[in-house]
Amino acid sequence: MTRGRKIIAVMVAAMGPLALVILAKIPLGGALWVGAGTAVLMVLILRPVRPATAKVAAPVPVRQGSNAAQEVLGIIPDPVIVVGAQERVEFANPAACAIYPGFERGILLSLLVRHPEVLAVAGRARMKGLLQEVRFALRRPSERFLRVMALPLKAGRMALIFQDETELHRAEHMRAGFLANVSHELRTPLASLSGYIDTLSGHAKDDAAAQERFLAIMADQAARMGRLIDDLLSLSRIEMDAHLAPKTQVDLAAAMGDVKDALTPVFTARGVEVNMEPPSGPVYILGERDQVIQVIQNLIDNAVKYTPKGKSITVSINPDVIRQSPEFDQKALGETVPRLQIVEAPRDPGQRFAVLEVRDPGPGIPAEHLPRLGERFYRVEAGKTAERTGTGLGLAIVKHITNRHRGGFSVQSQPGAGTVFTVAFPLMLSQNLGTE
Ligand code: ADP
């Protein structure tokens, strides 16, 4: 009860009996009882009324270091350290102990944390009494990029909260590298085009034979830029849908036939024979038709590109292979030739795949290059004619499409032994879904 309310109640208790004695001539004893009763009534009436929700909403004080808080700090993946008076560490959660294993209660911060950036930011936060932050790199056990915030608390305490920005850093690094690669790839044909434009408008102005030759080269370079842009757009479309596995039924055997029809003039022009070994009937996979065709086309295109004139490549389909069977990982070129999974097929029990195989008797790829196949713009040997016509994106596109299809992609190769690329597509097991 507030002070004001107390005074009113006392006045009623004192003045009431006096008035009754004087005005109503009531005996003093009875008047005192009436006064006391009225005062109690006044206290009850004047009592502050709490809102109905007050009980529910009453805040529960959170004790520092309470079990719930400790439990949360124990499971969050971000490292947290609490520093007390004289720079002694009071608390470090398990994530913090993983990067600073020397934690024991009361240890000096500078003995636990050896990174000068972290100690400096803690010092600044203490001096200014304000949140300070800094980014720094951890070299061991593996390279990680962290942001640390030093947050002054009550009673001279301070919290150091770390955030792992390694993924962000990596993505940023990849984006920058990708942009540098794209500009480099576009700059080469562009430089060649502008060089020929200068020549045509300069000393070749009146040389009809030179003009014809240069214009053909310029057309080639322009076509190369067009291919590069097409491939980049394909990649970005595939990446945008990467999380959506295709749900439609595609006949892999029919797709293989379509590619053969489309590419026959190219095989003929290059003088390479292509042996297609189609399965006896349709092979239904879960896929997106255009992307399945792109996979077959890119692999055949490479095989033809790297195969010497007069030789032949083979394209076949194994229509039904169980993931767990040894057949799935078989080495088509023999046990001694290295084989590498570029995309590992899911190991779901009972999952069955149709496996496309493209085999060529070309130069083969040295073992040290196999792990990098599928990286954008990665070429085994720069400078050869075949490499100059390619974009360096063909296998990256196959890798991304296989990933999206939840399939597998592998290569077996060795200089002198030729190359075999295989792509496994998940079989469509229910026939209830409609075709594309
Ligand atoms: P490109 O458009 O340059 O062919 P890809 O991504 O398709 O780019 O291939 C990347 C690199 O892998 C090629 O530059 C080449 O060095 C190597 N490569 C791909 N397929 C074959 C193959 N069948 N035989 C030999 N080397 C190959």
Q: Tell me what pLDDT residue 68 has.
A: 84
Residue 415 has pLDDT above 90, yes or no: yes
Cα 20 from Cα 327, distance rounded (Å): 111
Residue 420, Ramachandran bin (φ over 0: left; ψ between -120 and 50: alpha; else beta): beta
- The mean per-residue pLDDT over the stretch 276-304 comes to 94
Task: Please say which residue of 239, 254, 275 terminates a domain.
Answer: 239
Distance of CA 137 to CAs 5, 134, 209, 242, 374, Å? Answer: 65, 10, 60, 31, 29
pLDDT class of 385 with cuts at 50, 70, 90 = low
Residue nearest to atom 11 of ligand 1 (CA): 379
Read off the pTM: 0.68
Q: Which two tokens stand for residue 184?
A: 């480099």
Residue 274: inside a domain, yes or no?
yes
Q: Which atom of ligand 1 is nearest to the CA of 378?
A: 10
The one-character DSSP state at 65 is: T
The one-character DSSP state at 309 is: T
Rounded to 5°, the CA angle 388-423-375 comes to 40
What is the span of the domain harbouring residue 304?
Answer: 243-432
Does 256 share its domain with 393? yes
pLDDT in tens, 209-245: 999 999 999 999 999 999 999 999 999 999 888 889 9
- The greatest distance separating any two alpha carbons of the chain, rounded to the nearest whole angstrom, comes to 139
Distance of CA 98 to the CA centre of its chain: 23
Position 16, amino acid: G
Q: Which two tokens stand for residue 166?
A: 């390694």
Q: How far is the CA of 302 from the centre of ligand 1 (A)?
A: 6
Residue 54: inside a domain, yes or no?
no
Does 389 share its domain with 283? yes
User: Closest Cα partner for 378 from 344, 386, 387?
Assistant: 387
Residue nearest to atom 4 of ligand 1 (CA): 390
Decide whether any atom of ligand 1 lies within 6 Å of the 300 Cβ: no
Does 317 share its domain with 255? yes
- The mean per-residue pLDDT over the stretch 66-93 comes to 89
List, in sequence order, the alpha helices (H) in 24-137: 28-46, 54-57, 67-75, 94-99, 109-112, 116-128
Structural domain count, the chain: 4
Task: Please say which residue of 125, 146, 164 terminates a domain.
Answer: 164
Place of tokens 């502008």: 194
User: Closest Cα partner for 65 from 36, 93, 35, 46?
Assistant: 93
pLDDT class of 382 with cuts at 50, 70, 90 = low
Q: Which atom of ligand 1 is nearest to the CA of 360?
A: 23
Task: Please say which residue of 164, 185, 214 terminates a domain.
Answer: 164
Cα 20 from Cα 360, distance rounded (Å): 120
Does 121 share its domain with 257? no
Residue 57: inside a domain, yes or no?
no
Residue 58: inside a domain, yes or no?
no
User: Closest Cα partner for 338 from 376, 365, 303?
Assistant: 365
Decide whether any atom of ligand 1 lies within 6 Å of the 303 Cβ: yes
How high does pLDDT run on average in the chain? 83
CATH number at residue 230: 1.10.287.130
Decide whether any atom of ligand 1 lies within 6 Å of the 391 Cβ: yes
Q: At a CB cut-off of 8 Å and minimum separation 6, what does 347 contact? A: 323, 324
Cα 114 from Cα 109, distance rounded (Å): 9
Q: How far is the CA of 341 from the centre of ligand 1 (A)?
A: 16
**Which residue from 185, 301, 302, 420 has its CB within 8 A of the most atoms of ligand 1, so it is best to mutate?**
302
pLDDT in tens, 171-206: 998 888 888 889 988 988 899 999 999 999 998 889
Residue 15: inside a domain, yes or no?
yes
